[in-house]
Amino acid sequence: MSDGNARAPLSRDRVLSAALRIADVDGLQAVTMRRVAADLEVEAMSLYHHVRNKEELLDGLVESVVGEVLTEVGLAEAAASPASGDWHASLRRRCLMARTVMVRHSWAPGLIGSRPTIPAPLYLYFEEILAVLIGGGFTYHLAHQALHSLGSMALGFAQELFNPADSGGQVDEGAAEAELAAMAERLPHLTTMVAAELHDHDEDPLGWCDSQREFEFTLDLLLDGLARHLQTGPVRDRTER
């Protein structure tokens, strides 16, 4: 009998996009060689013809998201300003745009932070940011510090201590509140703060931390600080103090 339904041939791209889909839907911990293979209706070992090992698959995943950041930021930047020299606005736009990509792939920050190697597209991305800084009058030295200070914000995420979404697992929202309530008398300021902030955001206890606003607040803190450094003098350093 003729084999009418020959499967599409595997390829590195098909493997990576299957892995990315799994990570988006079921979390990063669901990305196993067997699972990726199963989704492609193939045996696990077949993947190794297109990916050296699992590490390389994870690297590929990171490259995918960084690539996504790169293109989306590029598009947004091209649309926004016809090459205006405003580094502050440009960087702000870039970080916020990158953040929309990271929100789509909530597992990415954790993965990026734990990877031992720097994926190639990231160099390109930082080159762009660096170009913006230099174009804005930064010395290479200050720009270097700026890159470090912005850190993960350049890629659109902040180090959230104990971020549930990172690992893709389930989270017990109530447990945290319960534990805080249990220690309430030892945590007077914390409980007051939570109560005060909850009051502002009447109800919606899950959303009383507005990640977006906090991200922008910190981002502006950093950008404004850098701007002040830029005015103060290009060579000014604060190793002293």
Q: Pick from 112, 136, 156, 230 the residue near a second copy by CB under 8 A.
A: 112
- Which residue type is seen at 220? D
57 φ/ψ angles, rounded to the nearest 5 degrees: -65, -45
Q: Which two tokens stand for residue 68?
A: 């996504």
Decide: helix, strand or coil at residue 185. helix
Nearest CB to DNA, comparing residues 48 and 126: 48
- Side-chain-side CA neighbours of 56 within 13 Å: the count stands at 10
6 Cβ contact partners less than 8 Å away, ≥ 6 residues apart: none
Minimum CB separation from DNA for residue 13, in Å? 12
Determine contact, residues 57/197, Cβ cutoff 8 Å. Answer: no
Question: What is residue 97's three-state secondary structure?
Answer: helix
Residue among 10, 102, 150, 155 that touches DNA (CB under 7 A): 10
Tell me if 176 contacts a second copy by CB under 8 A: yes
Residues 15-54 as x/- pattern, contact with DNA by CB under 7 A: ----------------xxxxx-x----xxxxx-xxx--xx
Judged by CB, which is closer to a second copy: 137, or 151? 151
Interface region with a second copy, contact rule CB under 8 A, candidates 16-24, 42-50, 75-83, 108-116: 108-116
**In whole angstroms, what separates CA 14 from the centre of its chain?**
23
* Tokens standing for residue 147: 């890159």
- Is residue 143 near a second copy by the rule CB under 8 A? yes
Q: Which amino acid is at 56?
A: E
Total residues in contact with a second copy, by rule CB under 8 A:
71
Is 178 one of the binding residues for a second copy (CB under 8 A)? no
From the CB of 177, what's the least distance to a second copy, in Å?
11
Q: For binding to DNA (CB under 7 A), which residues are involved?
A: 9-10, 31-35, 37, 42-46, 48-50, 53-55
